[in-house]
Amino acid sequence: MTGAEEWVLQGGQIVSPQGVIRADLHIQDGKIKDIGPDLSLSQELPCIAAQGFLVFPGLVDPQVHFREPGLEWKEDLASGSLAAVAGGVTSFMEMPNTKPPTTSPEALKDKLRRASGRCYADYAFFLGASAENADFLGEWEQAEGCAGIKVFMGSSTGNLLIEDDATLERVLRSGSRRVAIHSEDEPRLKQRYAEVKPGSPHRIHPEVRDVETALKATKRLLRLVEKTGRKVHLLHVSTAEECDLLRERDLGDLVTAEVTPNHLFLEAPACYEDWASLVQMNPPIRDRRHLETIRQALVDGVISCIGSDHAPHLLEEKNKPYPLCPSGIPGVQTILPLLLMAVREGWMDYPKIAEITSQAPSRVYGLKSKGILQAGMDADFVLVDPQWKKPLALSWIRSRAAYSPYVGMMTHGFPIQTYLRGKRVFDLDQGPGEAQGSPLVYQ
Ligand code: DOR
Shared domain for 144 and 236, answered yes or no, is: yes
The alpha carbon of 387 and the centre of ligand 1 are apart by a number of angstroms equal to 34
Shared domain for 214 and 256, answered yes or no, is: yes
pLDDT tens per residue, range 207-249: 999 999 999 999 999 999 999 999 999 999 999 999 999 999 9
State the pLDDT confidence band at 3, using cuts at 50, 70 and 90. Answer: low
Ligand 1 site-directed mutation target among 155, 157, 278, 322, most atoms within 8 Å of CB: 157
Q: Which atom of ligand 1 is nearest to the CA of 281?
A: 1
The alpha carbon of 182 and the centre of ligand 1 are apart by a number of angstroms equal to 9
pLDDT at 1: 44
Q: Which atom of ligand 1 is nearest to the CA of 235?
A: 6
Distance of CA 106 to the CA centre of its chain: 25
Question: Does residue 26 lie within any of the structural domains?
Answer: yes
Q: Find the mean pLDDT for residues 436-440.
A: 98
Instruction: In whole angstroms, give the CA distance from residue 331 to residue 309.
Output: 7
Shared domain for 36 and 64, answered yes or no, is: no
The alpha carbon of 84 and the centre of ligand 1 are apart by a number of angstroms equal to 17
Question: Does residue 278 lie within any of the structural domains?
Answer: yes
What's the CATH number where 263 sits?
3.20.20.140
Q: Find the mean pLDDT for residues 324-329.
A: 98
Q: Are 58 and 382 in contact (CB under 8 A)?
A: yes
User: 332, 365, 398: which is the final residue of a domain?
Assistant: 365
The alpha carbon of 16 and the centre of ligand 1 are apart by a number of angstroms equal to 31
Pocket of ligand 1 (CB under 6 A): 65, 97, 156-157, 182, 281-282, 311, 326-328
Instruction: In whole angstroms, give the CA distance from residue 375 to residue 33.
Output: 5
User: 365, 397, 414: which is the final residue of a domain?
Assistant: 365
**Helix 211-228 and helix 165-173, axial crossing angle in degrees, nearest 10:** 40
* Share above pLDDT 70 across residues of the chain, in percent, rounded to a whole number: 99
> For residue 4, is pLDDT > 70?
no
Instruction: In whole angstroms, give the CA distance from residue 331 to residue 288.
Output: 20
Question: Does residue 443 lie within any of the structural domains?
Answer: no
User: 333, 365, 397: which is the final residue of a domain?
Assistant: 365
Short-list 285, 195, 300, CA closest to 247 = 300
The alpha carbon of 328 and the centre of ligand 1 are apart by a number of angstroms equal to 5
Shared domain for 40 and 68, answered yes or no, is: no
Shared domain for 246 and 229, answered yes or no, is: yes
Classify the C-alpha dihedral 104-107-111-113 as positive or negative: positive
User: Who's near 423: CB < 8 A, 6+ residues apart?
Assistant: 1, 30, 433, 434, 436
Q: Which atom of ligand 1 is nearest to the CA of 329?
A: 1
The alpha carbon of 130 and the centre of ligand 1 are apart by a number of angstroms equal to 17
Shared domain for 170 and 150, answered yes or no, is: yes
State the pLDDT confidence band at 38, using cuts at 50, 70 and 90. Answer: confident
pLDDT tens per residue, range 240-290: 999 999 999 999 999 999 999 999 999 999 999 999 999 999 999 999 999
Q: Which atom of ligand 1 is nearest to the CA of 152?
A: 6
Q: How many folded domains does the chain comprise?
A: 2
Q: What is the mean pLDDT of the chain?
A: 97
Shared domain for 21 and 144, answered yes or no, is: no
State the pLDDT confidence band at 2, using cuts at 50, 70 and 90. Answer: very low
Question: Does residue 441 lie within any of the structural domains?
Answer: no
pLDDT tens per residue, range 138-157: 999 999 999 999 999 999 99
In which domain, by residue range, is 49 found?
Answer: 6-56+377-432
